[in-house]
């Protein structure tokens, strides 16, 4: 009856082995052919070769073949071609050229696990025990792929592809610069950002709670302080805690937790953000390279070299 999530993303990078090792370190489980699996949703990332870093493919989940027919018709009205099979539809985002597959797939049912318990004033909910966030022995493993952020040279056309073409909904907008779009109950699964050049800004991966956002980043930075980009903070759009790191090709990857969940579209009012609110609610000041990655100029001239 509708879209219900992201299945996977494929990123193209010039330095496949190095980048693949980074995502294994990030907590994704390596499988054959440079696929990587999350704890809850299986294969959700593929790394392949490309001369410059880019988002090559996005797979979106739909409930049934009726969704594919509806999407094919919508894309047709936009003048965009699509190849529709029985259980999948293939098209391409018209500005960035990214391949998009919409596939009929079962809905993801995540095992909720125990709630994270935090003490508060007059609310000593965890008694006679240290906080689980400091005693967890295991390394953080992302539960699922949450969203991808696409820099587009024509953000309005890219947004129209996702909303009018595929049926994504608008959760919030960054005035004149982009939109947070959802194809599930997550506040956003895709963020389209206006940019001077088409590029992948970041992918984002769900972890259990804010402790695991911190633990995940801490482990990544222990021997590689150069991976740090921005965190710990909390976004306004989506409310999620975040910490951004950088892979060896220059793509950012985010650990997040506690994102807004939109179940009843009627009860959510999209906002238009201006200034800092589009970026975050609190945290350290964002580094200039967050909005304008260091390799942006090189990508514009096509002279990109891995950093
Ligand atoms: Fe994000």
Per-residue pLDDT of the chain (307 residues; tens, 9 = 90+): 799 999 999 999 999 999 999 999 999 999 999 999 999 999 999 999 999 999 999 999 999 999 999 999 999 999 999 999 999 999 999 999 999 999 999 999 999 988 889 999 999 999 999 999 999 999 999 999 999 999 999 999 999 999 999 999 999 999 999 999 999 999 999 999 999 999 999 999 999 999 999 999 999 999 999 999 999 999 999 999 999 999 999 999 999 999 999 999 999 999 999 988 899 999 999 999 998 999 999 988 874 444 4
Supply the pLDDT for residue 304.
Answer: 46
Judged by DSSP in three states, 246 sits in: strand
Distance, CA of 298 to CA of 14 (rounded, Å) = 14
Q: Is the peptide bond before 225 cis (omega within 30 degrees of 0)?
A: no
| CA 160 to ligand 1 centroid distance, Å | 20
Of 16, 96, 15, nearest to 56 by C-alpha is 96
Distance, CA of 156 to CA of 117 (rounded, Å) = 42
CA separation (Å) from 12 to 20, 56, 221?
Answer: 11, 6, 24
| CA 252 to ligand 1 centroid distance, Å | 9
| CA 245 to ligand 1 centroid distance, Å | 11
Judged by DSSP in three states, 163 sits in: helix
| CA 220 to ligand 1 centroid distance, Å | 18
Distance, CA of 18 to CA of 307 (rounded, Å) = 11
Judged by DSSP in three states, 165 sits in: helix
Residues lying with their CB under 5 A of ligand 1, a single-atom ion: 204, 254
Distance, CA of 288 to CA of 246 (rounded, Å) = 14
Judged by DSSP in three states, 282 sits in: strand
| CA 147 to ligand 1 centroid distance, Å | 7
Distance, CA of 271 to CA of 7 (rounded, Å) = 27
| Residues 91, 83 contacting (CB under 8 angstroms) | yes
Element (DSSP H or E) covering residue 49: strand 42-49
Q: How many residues does the chain have?
A: 307
| CA 200 to ligand 1 centroid distance, Å | 12
Listed in sequence order, the residues at least 6 apart from 235 whose beta carbon sits closer than 8 Å to its beta carbon are: 242, 279, 280, 281
Of 77, 73, 101, nearest to 10 by C-alpha is 101
Supply the pLDDT for residue 242.
Answer: 98
Distance, CA of 6 to CA of 189 (rounded, Å) = 7
| CA 188 to ligand 1 centroid distance, Å | 9
| CA 190 to ligand 1 centroid distance, Å | 9
| CA 31 to ligand 1 centroid distance, Å | 25
pTM: 0.96
| CA 302 to ligand 1 centroid distance, Å | 26
Distance, CA of 3 to CA of 233 (rounded, Å) = 30
| Residues 234, 280 contacting (CB under 8 angstroms) | yes
DSSP E strands in 183-289: the ranges are 190-194, 199-206, 228-234, 241-246, 252-257, 272-273
Q: How would you list the strands of the sheet with 35-38, edge to edge?
A: 29-31, 35-38, 42-49, 3-13, 54-62, 99-104, 88-92, 83-84
């Amino acid at each position: 009856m509708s879209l219900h999530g992201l299945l996977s993303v494929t990123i193209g990078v010039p330095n496949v082995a190095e980048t693949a090792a980074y995502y294994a370190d990030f907590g994704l489980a390596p499988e054959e052919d440079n696929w990587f699996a999350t704890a809850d949703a299986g294969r959700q990332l593929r790394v392949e070769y490309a001369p410059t870093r880019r988002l090559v493919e996005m797979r979106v989940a739909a409930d049934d073949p009726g969704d594919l027919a509806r999407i094919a018709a919508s894309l047709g009205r936009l003048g965009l071609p699509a190849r529709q099979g029985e259980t999948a539809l293939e098209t391409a985002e018209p500005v960035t050229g990214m391949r998009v597959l919409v596939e009929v797939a079962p809905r993801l049912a995540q095992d909720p696990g125990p709630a994270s318990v935090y003490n508060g004033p007059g609310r000593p909910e965890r008694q006679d025990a240290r906080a689980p966030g400091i005693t967890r022995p295991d390394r953080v493993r992302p539960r699922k792929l949450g969203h991808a952020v696409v820099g587009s040279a024509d953000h309005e056309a890219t947004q129209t592809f996702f909303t009018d073409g595929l049926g994504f909904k608008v959760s919030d907008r960054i005035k004149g610069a982009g939109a947070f779009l959802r194809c599930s109950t997550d506040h956003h699964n895709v963020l389209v950002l206006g940019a001077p050049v088409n590029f992948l800004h970041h992918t984002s991966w769900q972890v259990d709670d804010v402790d695991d956002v911190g633990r995940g980043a801490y482990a990544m930075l222990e021997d590689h302080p150069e991976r740090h980009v921005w965190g710990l903070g909390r976004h306004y759009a989506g409310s999620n805690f975040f910490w951004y790191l950088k892979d060896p090709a220059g793509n950012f990857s985010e650990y997040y937790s506690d994102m807004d969940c939109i179940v009843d579209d009627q009860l959510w009012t999209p906002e238009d953000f201006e200034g800092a609110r589009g970026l975050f609610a609190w945290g350290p000041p964002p580094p200039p390279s967050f909005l304008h990655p260091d390799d942006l100029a090189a990508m514009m001239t096509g002279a990109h070299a891995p950093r």
